[in-house]
Copies of this chain bind each other. A is one copy, B any other.
Amino acid sequence: MALHGGIDLGGTKIQAAVVDDTGAVQGQSRRPTPTDGGPEGVAAEMVVALDEAAKAAGTEATALDGVGVGSPGAVENELGTVSEVVNIPGWEGAFQLRDALADQLGTHVALGNDVQVATDAEVALGAGRQFASLLGVFWGTGVGGGVVLDGRAWLGRSSAGEVGHMVVKQGGRRCGCGRKGCMEAYAGRGSMEREARRRHHEEGEHTELFKIMEKRGRERLSSGIWSRAVDQGDALAESLLAEAVAALGAGIASAINLLDVEAVVIGGGMGLRLGDPYVRRIRGAMMPHLFKDSDPPAVVLAELGDLGGAIGASLLVSAPQPA
C-alpha cells in the first residue's frame, strides 16, 4: 500500500501526517512553527516534522509517494511558491517552498491552500462524504471557507471561499483585514481576543479569560481558554461567543441563500474545541436568515479533527479510496 505525506502549515504549529490509501493516518508529528529564520527556517522544521511522522509510520520520507502541503498565504502550486504568509514573521515575498521541501525530503511535493485542502479532506473522508455540494467553515483565529460544488472545489478566479469576509453588518466592527463588518470581525478568535481585551482593560468588564490564559502560561486566548471560560460561566466570554455565533449564523445563511448547497461543515480550532453544542447554536443562528427555511442544509461538525489539514494536504498527492 502506498503511503503519502501531508503537512498542514499553520501560524503556530506544523502538523505532519503519513496517510495510507484509505486515508488512515499511519504516523503523525506536530511541531511549533519557528518564529525566526524566515521561510527557510520554517521549511527546515516542516522537514523535521514530516521525517518524524514517517518514522512513526515505520518508513522514511524518501519512501513516500509524494508529500502535499496545505499552506496559508498566496499559494502558487504551478510555480511552487508561497508568498504573503502574514501569520509567519519574515515571510513576505515569494518563497520556493516546493523545491526546498522536495530537495530535503527526496520525494515530490505539491502545494495547496490550507483551508481548501482541509475542506477536501472532509469531502473525501470526513463529514462531507455524503454531500455533493457543501460549504466548509473553518472557525479559528480567522474564519476561512471552502466551497465544494458538484464534488469539486470551486476556486473562482483563485481566491473563492473567503466566507469570513462576507459582510454581516455594514458599518460594523473593524476586522483584522482592515474592513468593517466582516463575519470574522465578530467570529474570528483574533478579533474576539481584541474585543475581550478592550472590554476588560478599557471598560473594566470582569472576565476570567486572561486569568486562565496566565495560569496556562499562554500569551493568546486559545480555543481551549474560551471553552474553559464559558464552562465557568464567564459572562464576557459568553457575550463574545454569542456575537460570534450570531455572525457565523448570518454569514453562513447568506452563503446558503446564494448557493443552496447541501451541507455546511464546521471545523477550525474554535469549531472543533467547542464542538456539537456550538454547531447546533450556529445552525440555530442561521435559521432566521435562511430564505428557504423549510429545507435547511445539514450543518455538521468536521470529523477529521486537528489532523484534517494534514490529511487533506496528503490528498494533493493521492486519490484515496475510503476503506
A289 adjacent to chain B (CB < 8 Å) = yes
Among candidates B162, B172, B177, B262, residue contacting A258 with C-beta atoms closer than 8 Å: B162
Among candidates B147, B157, B182, B253, residue contacting A167 with C-beta atoms closer than 8 Å: B253
CB closest chain-B residue, reference A261: B156
Q: Which residues of B contact A156 (CB under 8 A)?
A: 133, 259-261
Are A181 and B250 interface neighbours, CB within 8 A? yes
Are B160 and A258 interface neighbours, CB within 8 A? yes
Among candidates B157, B168, B177, residue contacting A291 with C-beta atoms closer than 8 Å: B177
Are A167 and B168 interface neighbours, CB within 8 A? yes
> Shortest beta-carbon distance, A94 to chain B, in Å?
16
Are A160 and B291 interface neighbours, CB within 8 A? no
Chain A 167-186 interface mask (CB, 8 Å, partner B; 1/0): 11111100001011110000
Among candidates B157, B182, B247, B261, residue contacting A261 with C-beta atoms closer than 8 Å: B157
Q: Which residues of B contact A158 (CB under 8 A)?
A: 260
Among candidates B163, B251, B253, B259, residue contacting A160 with C-beta atoms closer than 8 Å: B259
Q: Which residues of B contact A162 (CB under 8 A)?
A: 257-258, 260, 291-292
Number of identical monomers bound together in the oligomeric complex: 2
Q: How far is it, in angstroms, between the C-alpha of A181 and the C-alpha of B288 when the chains are bound?
A: 11
Are A157 and B260 interface neighbours, CB within 8 A? yes
Q: How far is it, in angstroms, between the C-alpha of A155 and the C-alpha of B149 when the chains are bound?
A: 11
Among candidates B159, B163, B246, residue contacting A292 with C-beta atoms closer than 8 Å: B159
Are B159 and A291 interface neighbours, CB within 8 A? yes
Give the interface centre of A145, A168, A250, A259 by most chain B CB atoms within 10 Å.
A259
Q: Which residues of B contact A259 (CB under 8 A)?
A: 147, 154, 156, 160, 258-259
CB closest chain-B residue, reference A246: B170
A165 adjacent to chain B (CB < 8 Å) = yes
Q: How far is it, in angstroms, between the C-alpha of A177 and the C-alpha of B292 when the chains are bound?
A: 11
CB closest chain-B residue, reference A251: B167
Q: Which residues of B contact A297 (CB under 8 A)?
A: 157
Known A147-B258, A157-B295, A262-B157; judge A169-B169 contact (CB<8 A): yes
Are B250 and A167 interface neighbours, CB within 8 A? yes
Known A149-B149, A154-B149, A156-B133; judge A166-B258 contact (CB<8 A): yes
Q: How far is it, in angstroms, between the C-alpha of A177 and the C-alpha of B291 when the chains are bound?
A: 8
Q: What are 29 contact pairs spanning A and B, CB under 8 A?
A: A149-B149, A149-B154, A154-B259, A156-B259, A156-B260, A156-B261, A157-B295, A157-B297, A158-B260, A159-B291, A160-B260, A162-B257, A162-B258, A162-B260, A162-B292, A163-B258, A165-B254, A165-B289, A167-B168, A168-B170, A169-B172, A177-B291, A179-B291, A180-B288, A181-B289, A251-B254, A254-B254, A255-B258, A258-B258
> Can you name 12 extra interface pairs (CB under 8 A) apart from A160-B259, A162-B260, A181-B289?
A154-B259, A155-B260, A158-B260, A165-B254, A165-B289, A166-B254, A168-B168, A168-B169, A169-B169, A170-B246, A179-B291, A180-B288
Closest 8 A-B residue pairs measured CB to CB?
A: A156-B260, A166-B254, A160-B260, A162-B257, A167-B250, A165-B291, A162-B291, A165-B257
